[in-house]
Structure 1
Amino acid sequence: MTQPPLTRQFQALEHAVGAALFDRSARAIRLTPAGSAFARSARRIVAQTSDAVLDARRIAAGDTGSLTIAFTAASNYVFLPRFVALLRREMPEVSLTLREMSSPQQLAALRDEQIDMGLSRPPIIQPGVASMRVYREPLCAIVPLDHRLASRDTIVLHDLEGESFITYPPVEGVYFHGLVTSVLHAKGVTVAKTQHVTQTHSILALVGAGLGVALVPQSAQRVRFPDVAFKPLTGLEDVTADLLLAWRTQTDNPACATAVKHVTRALEDPAWLS
């Protein structure tokens, strides 16, 4: 820019500000005190503008922002800790909020946009909600330590014939209730009586108290109850408990798609959940 246009720009700026910003002499031009103060503020504004651009780009890419994730109680034994660790490592600028909910509650919360993602049990059949299986595990039997089967290395389901059974309720624990009930029916096993308890750790406590036996997901072994024995089940290798990651297909939170991308990549490594 040549000198005359530059001078006109200076004069226009001073006119807009309403103060002399430059001290002109024949040989030099310097900032007045007002000009120095204006320059400091202008530099801050330029820096904030650059930060705003970077923030907008990070949010659009899903690298910053927040995620609200719901989870079922049993999912926190294996998958949830690794999932959270993955997100904290790959998306350190994203704030995570975790909420424990049953699977039906999660679907309602996704519909009402109260959560971004959910770790839920199948089936997930809801318009506008996508899902993928993120964890699969076998069932195992738990018996009191003084039970006749406690010394066995493995058992078959018919060993539980006539036992008092503690299992999940048909409404709050619909997935596990249906899974356990269908297994017993398919194998023709009849139990003496059934008591329904919502949470896996409560089932473990009642079994430890000698009130019955139960079938639970294998990951429940991570909950250390001293009065129960976990027994692998022979003949039920094809029966598994599945955990799904669910999210809204139409969401204005880019961090959700980024989280799905990271967990999809992590699941390609068989050692990730071992």
Structure 2
Amino acid sequence: MELRQLRYFLVVADELHFGRAAERLHITQPPLTVAVKSLERELGVRLFDRTTRRVTLTAAGQAFRDRIQAAVADLDDAAGDVADVAAGKSGKIRVGFVSSASYTTVPEAIRTFRQYRPRVDLVLHPLTSGEQVEQLLDGNLDLGLIRDPGDVPGLNLELLSTEDLVLVLPETHRLAAAKVVRPEDLEGEPMILFPYRLMPGFVARVLRLFDSLPSPPMVVQQAIHQETILGLVAAGLGVSVLPESVQRFQMPGVATRRFVGRPQTELHVARAGGGSPAVEDFVLCLRGRIPE
């Protein structure tokens, strides 16, 4: 039994006239008649009662039409859905992102993507850089926004944006009165940072600021989320170094100051492979562009 035969049968059942059905199918009548008779032989029943004046469905033909109509429509829908997924117009993409990215490019990219690709299910996962690397390599994420990743074998990395690093300190701290600070101003200071295993590139970049100091800042507390770090700084447990975009998060009792020389941090788009058209479209949105 061929799908072509089923489509021919449904058109004849709709028209109840072989000539009109052939015209609608853009074929001649003989091959249509042959296809229907072949289908009847395969099923072992008559689907139509045919006279010189009219064509009617038999009881078996009516039952057969009722059963296959939805099935053929589902097949047509499935074919259309597959084409849309291949074109990036429907489907699902899984995106990981570091918390600092939620202050910069991510919100606007989501708004744009949902406007231009409303049928793509965008599944968002707030994760640290280390967690994203693992999930990208395991195939559990399609795209990641990773901070200062360095070289990660197996991942395709593209620089998305850079921003300054800033010192985050209690507003009562002695350095809060300074316009800019130097790494040496923090000699021996208690510091709050992300765990190295979860944000290895970013933590390494921060610690390199203090390489030349005889007594670098002491890491006294670790926290996974940027908001938690801000709360600990506000409580007076220490200072921290975070991306400049943290200034958009208003935390009472916390001040930020620039470093001399304006050291920077990088946000990268990470993929394990080329990515689907929907992933490419989301990357366009992250870059402030509109999908076609």
Give TM class, smaller chain.
Answer: 0.7 to 0.9
* Residues 68-121 of structure 1: CA deviation (Å, up to 9, x unaligned): 222223333323333433433333222233333332332222222222222112
- Equivalent pair of 1:87/1:259 in contact (CA under 8 Å): no
- Compute the RMSD of aligned alpha carbons: 3.0
1:198 is the counterpart of 2:218: no
Q: Is the 8 A contact 2:210 2:217 kept in 1?
A: no
Q: Shift of residue 133 of structure 1? A: 1.3
Deviates more, 1:168-177 or 1:113-122: 168-177
1:55 corresponds to which residue? 81
Structure 2 residue aligned with 1:236: 261
Q: Which residue of 1 aligns with 2:127?
A: 101
Q: Please tell me whether residue 21 in structure 1 is matched to residue 47 in structure 2.
A: yes
Q: Do 1:169 and 1:196's aligned partners in 2 also have CA atoms closer than 8 Å?
A: no
TM-score, normalising length from structure 1?
A: 0.79
| Paired letter, 1:198 | A
Is 2:147 aligned against 1:121? yes
Q: Shift of the alpha carbon at 1:241?
A: 1.0
- The structure-2 alpha-carbon separation of the partners of 1:124 and 1:34, relative to structure 1 and needing over 3 Å to count, comes to farther
Q: Are residue 34 (structure 1) and residue 54 (structure 2) matched? A: no
Q: Shift of the alpha carbon at 1:6?
A: 5.5
Other-structure match for 1:156: 181
TM-superposed deviation, 1:240: 1.0
TM-score (norm 2): 0.75
What's the offset of the Cα at 1:42? 4.1
Aligned match for 1:258, one of 268, 275, 278: 278
- Using a 3 Å threshold, how does the CA distance of structure 1 residues 214 and 12 change in structure 2: closer, same or farther? closer
Deviation of 1:2 (Å): 7.1
Residue 210 of structure 1 is matched in structure 2 by: 236
Q: CA deviation at 1:191?
A: 4.8
Q: How far did 1:39 drift?
A: 3.2
Instruction: Classify the secondary structure of the residue corresponding to 1:23.
Output: strand
From the superposition, tell whether residues 45 and 84 of structure 1 become closer, same or farther in structure 2 (CA, over 3 Å): same
CA–CA separation in structure 1 for the residues paired with 2:191 and 2:34? 90
Q: Aligned with 2:198: secondary structure?
A: coil
Contact 1:133-1:243 at 8 Å conserved across structures: yes
Q: 1:10 to 1:101 in 2, by over 3 A?
A: closer
Deviation of the 1:244 alpha carbon: 1.0
Tell me which amino acid in the other structure corresponds to 1:267: R
Distance 1:140 1:189, change over 3 A: farther
Equivalence for 2:8: none
**Secondary structure in 1 aligned to 2:232?**
helix
Count of aligned pairs: 262
SS at match of 2:211: helix
- Unpaired runs of at least 5, structure 1: none
Change (3 A) 1:232 1:124: closer
Q: Name the CA distance, whole Å, in 1 between partners of 2:140 and 2:170.
A: 40
Distance in 1, matches of 2:253 and 2:29, equals: 89
Match of 2:40, SS state, is helix
On the 8 A contact 2:186/2:217 being kept in 1, the answer is: no
Please tell me the residue identity of whatever aligns with 1:102: T
SS of the residue corresponding to residue 88 of structure 1 reads helix
Q: Aligned to 1:185, what secondary structure does the other structure show? A: coil
Q: Contact conserved, 2:93 with 2:121, CA < 8 A, in 1?
A: yes
